[in-house]
Amino acid sequence: MATIIDGKALAKKIRENLKIECDKLKKKNINPKLAVIMVGDNPASKVYVRNKSKACKEIGIEYEEYLLEDTITQQELNELIKKLNDSKEINGILLQSPIPSHLNINQAFKSITYRKDVDGFTPSSVGKLAIGEDTFISCTPHGVMKMIDEYNIDLTGKDVVILGRSNIVGKPLIQCCLQKNATVTVCHSKTKNIKEHTKRADILISAIGQAKFVTADMVKENAVVIDVGINRTEEGKLIGDVDFEQVEKKASYITPVPGGVGPMTIAMLMNNVIKAAKEQNDKNSTF
Ligand code: NAP
């Protein structure tokens, strides 16, 4: 049976350490602050945003929410971002996706200064990650890497297979795993014979959003299996991309859903806000 990678416990530990960091900053009159922009009325986004504000409160990070009508223009959105870029009080800016389809999300991300890009989505952050410079790493891949580190899983020379190539999960994971000296394969919806790839994986990371897509026959004996996927069953239960009950018997390590990658994502967002506040208040920062 696999060792369960306990994302919930690790995320709690990270948040507790961040609270200590945050208290230290406050003693120096630095008050870390996150601004969250939400456009329109997406129920799932509301839940995500509520969870982020809860985590901020617990750590002591100040939090400001901008709820915009879904009729807002690109120019109005960009102007708000510019105002937040220029604000001395705001350390981190997060634009909650999705946004209405008449708006261009990449253009909006581009207008966030990389120094406040706590989601790690701007071209500057993505480019800095690709050339190995210190930057904000997108929170979910960052959380995955923290879990791998915490459980002392060495990626050197290992075959990592990533399912999914999205800008927010799959692609940043490629860079993160390369930096850890893994040999990386990425599969997506046009990949032929996915099983041939997954069967070779020492570490299999699934981020496609298909319930129970990864079955035991697709997994190598003793592989490490990280499940980023979040899918809802007809009964409303949350499940991952991996058939947990079967794959658990074959893997060496496995993340559960819920309680795996999910809590790590918010913890790493909090980590990025504290980092932003530190860097912005450090005269010697080269960030
Ligand atoms: P996304 O933007 O929809 O990307 C999905 C990726 O999976 C795409 O690259 C797509 O291929 C690929 N894909 C879809 N079906 C496939 C299939 N049958 N075979 C192979 N590849 C397939 O999704 P995302 O935002 O990266 O999220 C992925 C999953 O992770 C979702 O379940 C999401 O809810 C979850 N998620 C969880 C967290 C967390 O905190 N735990 C954070 C973010 C996302 P193409 O590129 O060819 O279309």
Residue with CA at minimum distance from ligand 1 atom 31: 209
Residue with CA at minimum distance from ligand 1 atom 47: 189
pLDDT value of position 55: 97
> How confident is the model over 249-263, as a mean pLDDT?
98
Evaluate: CB of 97 within 6 angstroms of ligand 1. no
> How confident is the model over 229-240, as a mean pLDDT?
95
Closest CA to 222 of 3, 62, 8, 37: 3
Contact status, residue 254 vs residue 2, Cβ threshold 8 Å: yes
**Predicted TM-score of the model (pTM):** 0.97
> How confident is the model over 159-175, as a mean pLDDT?
98
Residue with CA at minimum distance from ligand 1 atom 35: 229
In order, the DSSP letters of 149-166 are: HHTT---TT-EEEEE---
Q: What is the pLDDT of residues 64-119, one digit of tens each?
A: 999 999 999 999 999 999 999 999 999 999 999 999 999 999 999 999 999 999 99
- Structure confidence at residue 157 as a pLDDT band (50, 70, 90): very high
- Structure confidence at residue 197 as a pLDDT band (50, 70, 90): very high
Report the distance separating Cα 42 and Cα 277, nearest Å: 29
Residue whose tokens read 């990025």: 272
Tokens representing 123 are 């071209």
pLDDT value of position 249: 98
Evaluate: CB of 161 within 6 angstroms of ligand 1. no
> How confident is the model over 271-280, as a mean pLDDT?
98
Evaluate: CB of 260 within 6 angstroms of ligand 1. no
pLDDT value of position 123: 96
pLDDT value of position 36: 98
Is residue 8 annotated as part of the catalytic site, yes or no? no
Mean pLDDT over the full length of the chain = 97
Reduced to 3 states (helix: H, G, I; strand: E, B; else coil), residue 68 is strand
> How confident is the model over 251-260, as a mean pLDDT?
98
Q: Which of 33, 116, 117, 119 is catalytic?
A: 119
Residue with CA at minimum distance from ligand 1 atom 34: 230
Is residue 246 annotated as part of the catalytic site, yes or no? no
Please tell me the distance between residue 229's alpha carbon and the centre of ligand 1 in angstroms: 7
Lowest mean pLDDT of 11-20, 38-47, 170-179, 219-228, name the range. Answer: 38-47
Is residue 96 annotated as part of the catalytic site, yes or no? yes
Report the distance separating Cα 213 and Cα 109, nearest Å: 31
Evaluate: CB of 168 within 6 angstroms of ligand 1. yes
Q: What is the pLDDT of residues 118-136, one digit of tens each?
A: 999 999 999 999 999 999 9
> How confident is the model over 20-41, as a mean pLDDT?
97
Give the per-residue SS3 of 117-129: CCCCCCHHHHHHH
DSSP alpha helix (H) spans, 134-260: 139-150, 170-179, 194-198, 244-247
Residue whose tokens read 């207008």: 111
Beta bridge partners of 39: 68
pLDDT value of position 124: 97
Domains and CATH numbers, the chain: 26-116 (3.40.50.10860), 139-261 (3.40.50.720)
Atom of ligand 1 nearest to the CA of 257: 41
